[in-house]
C-alpha cells in the first residue's frame, strides 16, 4: 500500500480547505492509498514561502510518503517555473504526483510524458524570452543607442593635478564622483613611473 500525502491551499482566511480535503481523501481511498500526512496553507499562491508546502517538501526528502495528491496544480505552485521545480524534485525523490482536477498522474506513462511536454514548453518560453531580449539589444545598437553601463567621463588631467597637489585617493574620488579603485588606475596609468613623489604624497598613497 502506497503512503500518500495530501496538500491543500486556499487563498484567504475566510476560505476552508475541507472541500479539497474530502475530494483528496475520496481519491486516496479509491486508489487504495494510506493517507499518512496532510498539509495545508491559507496563503496566496504568489507567495514564495509557504509553511505547509515547505514542510511537505522537507518530509518528501525524508522519505515519509510515496505519492503527493493535490486538488489542482495551481494549489501547489505559484508559477510554471515553480511547478516544474516541485515536480522535478519529487521525481528525483521517486515520489509520484497526482492532480485531481487536471487528471495528472506521474506514476503512469501518460503522466510522465505530460511532464516532459510541460518542461519542454517552459524551456521554449525561456528561449523565446532570451531571443527577444537579444533582438531588442541588436536593434538598439543599430539605432545608435548605448547598451550596458555607460563609461565614466572623467577629467584625467584634473585628477592628476589633484594628486600632485597632495590630495588623497578618497578626496579625489569624492571630488570626481568615482571609486578609489578607478582613481588609482588612472593615476597608475598616467603618472610617469620615475616622477618624484613628495614625502607628504607618499603618506597618502593607499
Q: Which residues are catalytic?
A: 11
Q: Contact, 105 vs 98, CB < 8 A?
A: yes
In 3-state terms, what secondary structure has residue 37? strand
Per-residue CA distances from 55 to 32, 110, 135, 142 (Å): 24, 29, 42, 51
Nine-digit cell at 145? 543607442
Compute the CA torsion angle 73, 74, 78, 82 (nearest 10 deg): 20
The residues that bridge with 9 in the sheet, in sequence order, are 41
Q: Contact, 72 vs 4, CB < 8 A?
A: no
Amino acid at each position: 500500500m502506497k503512503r500518500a500525502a495530501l496538500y491543500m491551499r486556499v487563498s484567504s482566511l475566510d476560505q476552508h480547505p475541507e472541500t479539497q480535503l474530502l475530494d483528496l481523501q475520496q481519491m486516496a481511498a479509491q486508489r487504495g492509498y494510506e493517507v499518512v500526512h496532510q498539509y495545508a496553507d491559507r496563503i496566496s499562491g504568489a507567495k514564495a514561502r509557504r509553511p505547509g508546502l515547505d514542510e511537505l517538501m522537507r518530509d518528501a526528502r525524508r522519505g515519509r510518503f510515496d505519492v503527493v495528491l493535490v486538488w489542482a496544480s495551481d494549489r501547489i505552485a505559484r508559477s510554471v517555473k515553480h511547478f516544474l521545480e516541485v515536480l522535478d524534485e519529487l521525481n528525483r525523490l521517486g515520489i509520484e504526483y497526482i492532480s485531481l482536477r487536471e487528471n495528472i498522474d506521474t506514476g503512469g506513462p501518460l503522466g510522465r510524458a505530460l511532464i516532459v511536454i510541460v518542461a519542454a514548453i517552459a524551456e521554449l518560453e525561456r528561449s523565446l524570452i532570451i531571443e527577444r531580449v537579444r533582438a531588442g539589444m541588436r536593434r538598439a545598437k543599430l539605432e545608435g543607442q548605448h547598451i550596458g553601463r555607460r563609461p565614466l567621463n572623467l577629467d584625467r588631467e584634473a585628477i592628476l593635478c589633484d594628486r600632485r597637489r597632495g590630495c588623497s585617493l578618497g578626496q579625489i574620488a569624492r571630488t570626481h564622483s568615482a571609486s578609489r579603485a578607478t582613481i588609482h588606475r588612472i593615476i597608475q596609468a598616467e603618472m610617469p613611473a620615475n616622477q618624484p613623489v613628495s614625502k607628504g604624497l607618499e603618506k597618502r598613497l593607499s
